[in-house]
Amino acid sequence: MFIRAMALACIPLALAFSTPTAAQSADPAYRVNPGDELEISVWGEDRLQREVSVLPDGTIAYPLVGQVAAAGRLPSEIEARITAGLKPQYRGPVPQVTVSVKKASGFQFSVIGKVRSPGTFTPGRYVNALEALSMAGGPTEFADVNGIRIIRKQGQAIQTLRVRIGATLKGDTRSLSDADIPTIHSGDTMVVP
């Protein structure tokens, strides 16, 4: 009886340290955007500790390495590029390079049209179209919530995504899917007619 009680008491603790579920880890890894602030350090090298902003062209400048393309890359990819650039400066292995996003201020999107508070938003996290609409204060009384579109620029091409949240705003979530409320990408413009 005592052993069974102890086993039951330990279940919540075991669950607390379990691996994340698919729903918890569904968000993609953060990719660096122009305007983000990065903190870069090399283990044991105070002179190489830097806080840098990603320039509008997507690059950063780093001592002994030069210009590094950062936009659209994971922090680990930037670490690898800086490590490779520092390799000629060391006889042995390059000390651990760490790149962290100090401020994700480059992740921005805009909401325009018939919303209560149109503008540009910097959420600091990934959001979907429904959350973006909420950040803009929600639709106005005469907004066409079935005609909402997201305009996304990919290179030289422009993509238009339809947002299907009219029924959701009326409380009907039975047929709601991820395709109906797409994830907002940096640089997107959501148009609410």
pLDDT of residue 91: 94
Helix (H) or strand (E) run with residue 95 in it: none
Task: Answer yes or no: pTM beyond 0.75.
Answer: no
Kindly tell me the sign of the dihedral angle through the C-alpha atoms of 24, 26, 30, 35. negative
Tokens linked to 137? 């204060």
- The CA-based angle 181-169-123, given to 5 degrees, is 50
Are 74 and 94 spatial neighbours (Cβ–Cβ below 8 Å)? Answer: no
CA nearest neighbour of 187 among 34, 51, 73: 34
Are 133 and 181 spatial neighbours (Cβ–Cβ below 8 Å)? Answer: no
Which of the two residues, 128 and 167, has the higher pLDDT score?
128
- The CA-based angle 66-68-73, given to 5 degrees, is 165
Tens of pLDDT along 64-96?
999 999 999 999 999 999 999 999 999 999 999
Amino acid letter for position 50: R
> Residue 156: pLDDT band by 50, 70, 90 thresholds?
confident
> Residue 26: pLDDT band by 50, 70, 90 thresholds?
low
Chain centroid to CA 83: how far? Answer: 24
Mean pLDDT, range 112-119, rounded to an integer: 97
Q: CA–CA separation, 135 vs 159, rounded Å?
A: 23
